[in-house]
Chains A and B, each alone.
Chain A
Amino acid sequence: MTEPSASMSTPSASSTVAGPAQSGAGTSRFKGAGNYLALLPFLFYVGLFLVLPTLIVTLGALSTNDGQLTMSNIAALFTTDVFLASLIKSLELAVITAVLGAVVGGLLCWAVVRGDPNGLLRQLVVAASGVLAQFGGVMLAFAFLATFGFNGLITLFLKNNLGIGMDMSWLYSLTGLAIVYTYFQIPLMLIIFLPSLDGLRQEWFDASASLGGSAWSFWRHVGGPILAPSFLGALLLLFTNAFSAYATAQALISQGCVLITQQIACQMQSEVILGQENVGKALALWMIVIVSVVMLIYAWIQRRASRWVK
């Protein structure tokens, strides 16, 4: 599903491989099924640790505790107010932080791409973005506690130096979550979107300029439309990233089941209500459905994007 973006920066690479690879396909036809057997360990492993869990979730969501087919677990999302509320909160949070992250991160990309592509600034920003975007939900929550928490740097600074005793309880609310989420969405946007900005060609700008176009008209008529699919695609990835996140929320708001991911965890940890054991699996199935739909749209947009940026 990411094929197009992979070939974006190395246009010649895929064609180099395609030639010999296809001739390989020709010979393999005569060698028979033996060649496929070598893939079995991989397929078995992925089957056991990825496909099987997904099946367990799906089948569990559709069945009662004694294995009877039922729709009530699936319907629980709409019949139980707390479930629906947590889903809506998750969606809200994902949409808001995806848009914020995409816009601010997009601007940061523009600022970074203007510099030397092999420069220190860019390498520092890219490496730091990789860390902040992906490797530390819990740690980022602590970073914000150290900043805005009861004894945080900014809280104490305001209190001791400016005499402002600010109420920082917003940090533990949806607002706080949105701010911390945006903190990892911006770097993620940078990592995703930077290659697309790199793909904008000099010739396009020259062509626009030689026809009398200003910088604005270049972005309005050329750069903008070309980048639009990549931008939308990035927006969708940011959405799924925030929607799937659990660690940060759990570290900030450890009491209660606010988001859908936390709700699933709560269901899993306290499967107490008789006959409701599979409700957690149903919520998980709903998450798969939502993320899959978004990823399908993403794949479709990527195909469109790859028509332009080759």
Chain B
Amino acid sequence: MGALSEKNALIERPRGAGKRRRAPAGQRVARLAILVLVLGYLVVPLLAMLEFSTRGDLDKATNTFPRSLQAFAAIFTYPNLVDGILASLQIAALTVFGMLLLLVPTMVWTVVRVPRMRRVIEFLCLLPLAIPAIVIVVGIAPVYQWMGQHLGSIGGSPLTLTFISIILVLPYSYRAIDASLRSIDVATLADAARSLGAGWPRTIFQVIVPNIRGGILSASVLAIALVLGEFTISNLLSFSTVQVVIYLLGKRDPYVSVAVSLVALVFAFVLLFVISRFAPGADTSTQRAAEEPA
């Protein structure tokens, strides 16, 4: 951090300023040391991914690797990988759509009409946090077996993972939307819209939804990132999503696997960073929603 933020810290965070007066050098050194050490630990493996994935063929003479983007180019030579990426992107889109359709009307309705059910809905939405993904797989495998046998090609499609993905993203999406809902007066907005003659669909989608855009955006981004990173369930149900293909490819062509992983991580990072920077009020809700483990 530069001098600017130090100055800001003096203005906005007098607590820090107070302590700095007491132990200026010690505190600053400690802070810097922690930032360098911990962020270093977090950054080195990512740099290693970059170095690893940009290696060309070994130059025998110098025993070094020339830089090359061949691993990234090779992504498109693996049809499985492209299919996996496409499948995951489609699941992500369907999950966002389904999650919003399921969650937004229910949550709005709960706040406006049946507030006593709010705790129940919250409990159900947060429940996936207490049930590890591996456990959900064990329980849902029979359901998928049934779908595979009875629903023909639809039942065997990786897109059916959408059903579980919606469950997996519930806690995160719930919190993001809940934070937005709490920041506006939903009941009054709904009353106003209704008294002007709007039906419920119109009230929810044209009046409430525009007011909770920040939360909806955060919820969607978290859902996309979670779906793109999901491995446990797709692997055990034998669906070739991007993570499963990366995992399998890792044994054959680690360079391409690392390249795809890096692209996916950077993609998720850019999504989250853009949200935290530009979505109004989304910073805290993203953070809050991301508060608990997957």
> Residues of A at under 8 Å CB distance from B?
1-3, 5-6, 9-10, 13-14, 16-17, 20-25, 28, 31, 35-36, 38-39, 41-43, 45-46, 48-50, 52-57, 104, 107-108, 110-112, 114-117, 119, 121, 123-128, 130-140, 142-147, 149, 151-154, 160, 183, 186-188, 191-192, 194-195, 200, 202, 205-206, 209, 214-215, 237-238, 240-241, 243-244, 246-247, 250-251, 254, 261, 264-265, 268-269, 280-281, 284-285, 287-288, 291-292, 295
Name the prevailing secondary structure of the A interface residues. helix
- Contact call A17/B261, Cβ cutoff below 8 A: no
B268-294 interface bits toward A, Cβ cutoff 8 Å, 1 = contact, 0 = none:
110011011100000110111011111
Q: List 26 A-B contacts (CB under 8 A).
A: A3-B122, A9-B288, A17-B187, A42-B106, A49-B164, A50-B136, A50-B167, A107-B34, A111-B31, A111-B34, A111-B35, A115-B9, A116-B4, A127-B276, A134-B229, A135-B265, A142-B246, A202-B13, A237-B292, A244-B132, A244-B133, A246-B231, A250-B247, A284-B134, A288-B131, A295-B130
Contacts A2-B291, A135-B228 given; does A52 touch B272 at CB 8 Å: no
Which residues of chain B are within 8 angstroms of A140 by Cβ–Cβ distance? 45
Which residues of chain A are within 8 angstroms of B181 by Cβ–Cβ distance? 17
Closest Cβ–Cβ distance, residue A101 to chain B (whole Å):
11
Q: How many residues of B contact A (CB 8 A)?
A: 122
Among A17, A52, A112, A116, point to the contact of B143 (Cβ < 8 A).
A52
Which residues of chain B are within 8 angstroms of A36 by Cβ–Cβ distance? 114, 117
Contacts A38-B109, A56-B142, A268-B236 given; does A123 touch B231 at CB 8 Å: no
Which residues of chain B are within 8 angstroms of A39 by Cβ–Cβ distance? 106, 109-110, 114, 117, 121
Name the prevailing secondary structure of the B interface residues. helix
> Please, which residue of chain A has its CB at the minimum distance from the CB of B181?
A17
- Contact call A202/B15, Cβ cutoff below 8 A: yes
Contacts A115-B1, A209-B18, A281-B138 given; does A23 touch B187 at CB 8 Å: yes
Which residues of chain A are within 8 angstroms of B264 by Cβ–Cβ distance? 136, 139
> Please, which residue of chain A has its CB at the minimum distance from the CB of B286?
A130
Chain B CB within 10 Å — which of A36, A107, A126, A139 has the most?
A: A139
Chain A CB within 10 Å — which of B8, B139, B187, B264 has the most?
A: B139
> Please, which residue of chain B has its CB at the minimum distance from the CB of A241?
B293
Binds A, one of B36-44, B74-82, B205-213: B36-44
- Contact call A35/B113, Cβ cutoff below 8 A: yes
Contacts A53-B139, A57-B138, A143-B261 given; does A194 touch B13 at CB 8 Å: no
- Contact call A137/B231, Cβ cutoff below 8 A: yes
B124 within 8 A of A: yes
- Contact call A49/B163, Cβ cutoff below 8 A: yes
Which residues of chain B are within 8 angstroms of A28 by Cβ–Cβ distance? 113-115
In the assembled complex, the Cα of A135 lies from the Cα of B129 at a distance in Å of 15
B57 within 8 A of A: no
> Please, which residue of chain A has its CB at the minimum distance from the CB of B127?
A50
In the assembled complex, the Cα of A137 lies from the Cα of B132 at a distance in Å of 14
- Contact call B287/A195, Cβ cutoff below 8 A: yes
Beyond contacts A114-B16, A114-B31, A136-B265: 6 other A-B pairs, Cβ-Cβ < 8 A, are A13-B182, A39-B109, A57-B135, A114-B13, A115-B1, A246-B133
- Contact call B102/A42, Cβ cutoff below 8 A: yes
Which residues of chain B are within 8 angstroms of A284 by Cβ–Cβ distance? 134-135, 138-139
Closest Cβ–Cβ distance, residue A301 to chain B (whole Å):
14
- Contact call B115/A21, Cβ cutoff below 8 A: yes
How many A-B residue contacts, CB cutoff 8 Å? 364
Closest Cβ–Cβ distance, residue A206 to chain B (whole Å):
7
B139-151 interface bits toward A, Cβ cutoff 8 Å, 1 = contact, 0 = none:
1111100000000
- Contact call A291/B130, Cβ cutoff below 8 A: yes
> Please, which residue of chain A has its CB at the minimum distance from the CB of B221?
A130
**Which residues in chain B, 38-72, are within 8 Å of chain A measured between CB atoms?**
38-39, 41-42, 44-49, 51-53, 63-64
- Contact call B42/A187, Cβ cutoff below 8 A: yes
- Contact call B34/A287, Cβ cutoff below 8 A: no
- Contact call B122/A244, Cβ cutoff below 8 A: no
B93 within 8 A of A: no
B222-238 interface bits toward A, Cβ cutoff 8 Å, 1 = contact, 0 = none:
00011011011001100
> Please, which residue of chain A has its CB at the minimum distance from the CB of B105?
A38
Closest Cβ–Cβ distance, residue B31 to chain A (whole Å):
5
- Contact call A295/B134, Cβ cutoff below 8 A: no
In the assembled complex, the Cα of A231 lies from the Cα of B284 at a distance in Å of 19
- Contact call A10/B179, Cβ cutoff below 8 A: yes
Closest Cβ–Cβ distance, residue A13 to chain B (whole Å):
4
Contacts A52-B143, A114-B31, A195-B287 given; does A142 touch B250 at CB 8 Å: yes
Among A56, A146, A246, A254, point to the contact of B139 (Cβ < 8 A).
A56
